[in-house]
Amino acid sequence: MVTIKLFLTDVDGVLTDGGMYYTESGDEFKKFNTRDGMAFELLRKAGIKTGIVTSENTKIVARRAVKIKADYLYQGQRDGGKLAAAEEICEKESISLSEVAYIGDDLNCISLLEKVGLAACPADAVDAVKAVPGIVMLYKKGGEGCVREFVDRIVKSQY
């Protein structure tokens, strides 16, 4: 197994259940799992950098990234932008994509999932993601602790 130096995650459908919640006045809500938040602390303690790469662009995700102390946040990454963002982070960290673990759940995650050293998806990911060669299919669904499940596997396998 390759040593993981960077952990990246998608947001909707991974850190959340994929639901979009709106009030009548237009306020948006997302539900995050606290166990997934603890996963970022475990990664920090293991010396693994962290990042969020998402196609959405919201203040909610920016606040969550600050709370979990993510090293990197790339929002609004569409049309191959997730892979480009990961490559940019790798350049900054002087590492290769083979040293990256990434968890994603939908079509816009596939190009990155296919290039990283360790790829995973929540139990409720779309079939095309589940078909990515070598992908780790997790037992938990998006927003239900799948990030923590993946991180526990990474940390246990390396230390």
Q: What is the SS3 assignment for 107?
A: helix
Binding residues for Mg(2+): 10, 105
Give dist(CA 105, CA 86) in Å, integer: 16
Work out the number of other CB atoms within 10 angstroms of the CB of residue 16.
24
Give dist(CA 96, CA 110) in Å, integer: 18
Binding residues for substrate: 12
Binding residues: 10, 12, 105
Give dist(CA 123, CA 138) in Å, integer: 5
